[in-house]
Amino acid sequence: MDPQTKVKLIIKKSLQMMIMGTIVVLLISDPMVDVLNSIGVVLNIDAFYIGFVLAPIASNAPEIIAGFGYAGKQTKKTISISLASLQGVGCMNITFALGMFYLLFILDHGLKWEFTAEATSLLFVQFVLIVLSFKKSYSGFTAIFIILLYPVSLAVV
């Protein structure tokens, strides 16, 4: 196949996969929220912890599993790839969450701001991840430090 035909086929396949992925997310997201809410009610867990602990683990399970796969090869390169990938997902999720926080308050002036601790915690983790993203490779200490950001941010809240 000539290069232009390959590019067209790749773009077509990519669009098909993105549309299919969007449809799957639309079909699954509402029932998933209901399940997570029910778990919180049954176990008497505050909605904050469901939203900031259980939901991210559930929604990012593929990245977590892929990260374990890379790290399992136990080479410096694959472990660095694993951490960089998870770091990128973390930054993306934090950016999205903060964007949704701020968008809600811009669009609905009747909402009362009660999320200073949450927003500050997210901004702190985002800043640390940005600083760490300039590293070429990661040590075990850096990995542990990054992992500890999650429980520390929950403790701050």
Instruction: List, as own/partner pairs, every contact residues 94-102 make where C-beta atoms lie below 8 angstroms and the sequence separation is at least 24, other chains included.
Output: 94/122, 94/125, 94/126, 94/129, 95/126, 97/122, 98/122, 98/123, 98/126
Q: Which pTM was predicted?
A: 0.61
Mean pLDDT of all residues belonging to the chain:
83
Q: How many domains does the chain have?
A: 2
Burial label, 66 (beta-carbon count in 10 A; 0-12, 13-18, 19+)? middle
**pLDDT per position as a tens digit, 21-36:** 889 888 888 888 888 8
Q: Are residues 126 and 102 in the same domain?
A: yes
Tell me if 40 is assigned to some domain. yes
User: Which structural domain range is residue 13 located in?
Assistant: 1-45
- What is the reported pLDDT for 26? 84
Longest dimension (CA), the chain: 60
Q: Are residues 70 and 41 in the same domain?
A: no
Residue 142, token pair as written in the block? 């850096």
Specify whether 30 is located in the same domain as 103.
no
The SS3 assignment for 132 reads helix
Within 10 angstroms of residue 121's Cβ, the number of other Cβ atoms is 20
Does the residue 52 lie in any domain?
no
Chain segment 44-65, per-residue pLDDT in tens: 888 777 877 777 777 778 887 8
**Band of pLDDT at residue 146, cut at 50, 70 and 90:** confident
Q: Is residue 26 part of a domain?
A: yes
What's the pLDDT at 1? Answer: 80
pLDDT in tens, 100-133: 878 888 888 777 877 788 788 888 888 888 888 8
